[in-house]
């Protein structure tokens, strides 16, 4: 006489049966996917991803110093160290230009109007006019920074000025009346505290 199968043994047989079936299905699926005519040829003919021209870094920028390339990229995207951006990110209390005290320091102000960089602006716009035939009154900042013909001129401007660099203008000095009043009040309190 044979012993009846234990319940654990029957379950093992069932599990093994399902494993064998699923393995067979996977093997068959893999064989079918590779047996379609032209399937491996399609894989070989696929083109690799190629970055669009607009998104590629320009060769003129890539050949320069890394810090300058970073400044140019930030200046181009609008995430540069201007008063307007620093105020928006809450890294500065005011958007005023630290070099000429104009009320709002923007990319346009720095490239076209800031009194501190007049000589560098003249050079920039002379090079831009030579390359494109258009002057500063015919360009928006966005168009200037997007035009590849102007890249070298903008890089030269950024290189010769401190615009967009980590070492920027000093903080806007306080008005003469405000600082003096605070200092006098502090001195009076010190004297009063020392006498008592």
191 assigned to some structural domain: no
133 assigned to some structural domain: yes
37 assigned to some structural domain: no
101 assigned to some structural domain: no
Query: 129 is in which domain, residue-wise?
Result: 56-78+111-164
20 assigned to some structural domain: no
Q: Tell me the pLDDT tens digit for each residue of 32-83.
A: 655 555 555 666 666 777 777 766 778 888 888 999 999 999 999 999 999 9
169 assigned to some structural domain: no
Q: How far apart are CA 88 and CA 94, in angstroms?
A: 9
If one counts the domains in the chain, the total is 1
124 assigned to some structural domain: yes
Global model pTM greater than 0.85: no
Q: Tell me the pLDDT tens digit for each residue of 97-137.
A: 989 999 999 999 999 999 999 999 999 999 999 999 998 89
């Amino acid at each position: 006489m044979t012993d009846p199968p234990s319940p654990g043994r029957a379950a093992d047989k069932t599990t093994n049966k399902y494993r064998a079936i699923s393995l067979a299905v996977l093997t068959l699926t893999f064989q079918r996917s590779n047996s379609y005519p032209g399937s491996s040829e399609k894989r070989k003919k696929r083109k690799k991803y190629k970055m669009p021209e607009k998104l590629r870094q320009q060769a003129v920028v890539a050949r320069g110093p890394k810090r300058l390339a970073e400044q140019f990229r930030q200046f181009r995207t609008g995430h540069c160290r201007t008063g307007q951006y620093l105020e928006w990110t809450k890294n500065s209390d005011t958007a005023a230009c630290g070099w000429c005290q104009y009320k709002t320091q923007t990319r346009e102000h720095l490239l076209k109007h800031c009194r501190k960089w007049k000589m560098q602006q003249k050079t920039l716009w002379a090079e831009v006019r030579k390359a494109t035939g258009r002057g500063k009154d015919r360009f928006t900042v966005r168009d200037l920074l997007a035009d590849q013909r102007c890249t070298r001129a903008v890089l030269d401007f950024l290189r010769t000025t401190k615009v967009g660099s980590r070492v920027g203008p000093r903080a806007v000095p306080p008005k003469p009346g405000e600082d003096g009043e605070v200092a006098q009040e502090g001195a009076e309190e010190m004297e009063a505290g020392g006498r008592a």
